[in-house]
Structure 1
Amino acid sequence: MRRSKIAAVLLAGVAATAVALTGTSVHAASVADDPSLLHRQARSDAELRQQVELQLKAAPGGVQTSRNEISYDNGRFVVTYALPGQVAVAAGTADCPSAWYCFYDGKNFGYPRGKLHDCGRQDLATYGWSDRTTSVHNNTNWQVAFIEHDDLGDPAYGHQFDYSLWSSSPHAGWSYVGDVNNNRADHVELFC
């Protein structure tokens, strides 16, 4: 699924949940008015709260660990949303912590940002991050492969036809993965 389809599915789920919980679609309408909310910097604290809420609906099982971060699997994967007005995000500077590899939803390392540090293959869909990588920063000592899942339309094939889109060298960053690879990574693999 591409970004617009993911946003539509998420927003429909949020709307249905809001109606079921409150009996009204007022909250759902405010979220549905801005389908790009998951893919841009929040303009207010209210939008930041909505981003966190949508992320947790897209990938249940996370725990909000700060105002703008959600942690999965005891810190194995962390999603960070930009704080409203955060200047560093606008500057387009790669900011992946040492020993982590990060993928950004926007060009020039624009937030939101997902980060991992585990070796081996990881399924980004588990964390609601499939097809959401536009720029990357590998701040590890190992190579990272970004992989597209392809089961040829038949889930019985599993991962048999998955293929590597690109690889990132240790301590390297790409401010844009290119038109061909943009928003296509479904898995990552850290070779350590």
Structure 2
Amino acid sequence: MRRSRIVAVLLAGIAAAAVTLTGTSVHAASVADDPSLLHRQARSDAELRQQVELQLKVAPGGVQTSRNEISYDNGRFVVTYALPGQAALAAGVADCPSSWYCFYDGKDFGYPRGKLHDCGWQDLATWGWNDRTTSVHNNTDWQVAFIEHDDLGNPAYGHQFDYSLWSSSPHAGWSYVGNVNNNRADHVELFC
């Protein structure tokens, strides 16, 4: 009887440890795979690392070039996340570098920010940025069109039914693209 009680206590302890370990690992995995991490400022360095890891998981092929930045195709497309504790930019003030056009995941140019500078048509899904544009700043000398993909439910149609949502004039910004256009851009085209 004493031996069976010891075995029962040991089994209960092992089961409790397994639940604790499994619960912790499941929680850690769910935090790391939480899509909301891609859309807000990190609260800690650990969370910033999770953002970078998740961005690279969503859009493989990028290279982390700094603590909070990922570069794709040798700098063709760059994603920048706000640093933990970084004071927010002044409301309504864009920070897109000269000769780039930028799209922000938040209103009033709130980070994270994606930026491009290549001419022509670009598929934002390549970098996990489709349906993530809430504000834009075009700091180029050319017009940029923001385009929604529509294949009418049939992938065989490709891009023939895609349509322009809005355009941004040279050196202009939109602190909010509006409810109708928010998080709908799938492609961009810089006319240069």
SS in 1 for 2:173: strand
Residue by residue over 1:98-137, the C-alpha shift from the partner in whole angstroms, topping out at 9 and shown as x without a partner, is 0000000000000000000000000000000000000000
Larger radius of gyration: 2
- Compared CA separation, residues 5 and 126, structure 1 to 2 (3 A): farther
**Matched residues in 2 for 1:111 and 1:155: separation?**
32
Segments ≥4 residues shifted beyond 6 Å: 1-24
Residue by residue over 1:129-164, the C-alpha shift from the partner in whole angstroms, topping out at 9 and shown as x without a partner, is 000000000000000000000000000000000000
- Compared CA separation, residues 78 and 33, structure 1 to 2 (3 A): closer
- Compared CA separation, residues 110 and 21, structure 1 to 2 (3 A): farther
TM-score (norm 2): 0.84
Aligned length: 192
SS in 1 for 2:88: helix
- Compared CA separation, residues 7 and 147, structure 1 to 2 (3 A): farther
Greater shift after overlay, 83-92 or 113-122? 83-92
Residue by residue over 1:43-72, the C-alpha shift from the partner in whole angstroms, topping out at 9 and shown as x without a partner, is 110110000000000000000000000000
- Compared CA separation, residues 68 and 33, structure 1 to 2 (3 A): closer
TM-score (norm 1): 0.84
**Equivalent position of 1:101 in the other structure:** 101
Greater shift after overlay, 43-52 or 30-39? 30-39
**Matched residues in 2 for 1:8 and 1:163: separation?**
66
1:22 deviation in Å? Answer: 11
1:33 deviation in Å? Answer: 8.5
SS in 2 for 1:36: helix
CA contact (8 A) 2:33 2:54 kept: no
1:89 deviation in Å? Answer: 3.2
- Compared CA separation, residues 18 and 108, structure 1 to 2 (3 A): farther
**Matched residues in 1 for 2:179 and 2:3: separation?**
14
**Equivalent position of 1:50 in the other structure:** 50
1:37 deviation in Å? Answer: 1.3
CA contact (8 A) 2:109 2:135 kept: yes
**Equivalent position of 2:87 in the other structure:** 87
**Matched residues in 2 for 1:58 and 1:21: separation?**
27
1:93 deviation in Å? Answer: 1.9
Residue by residue over 1:64-108, the C-alpha shift from the partner in whole angstroms, topping out at 9 and shown as x without a partner, is 000000000000000000001112436442000000000000000
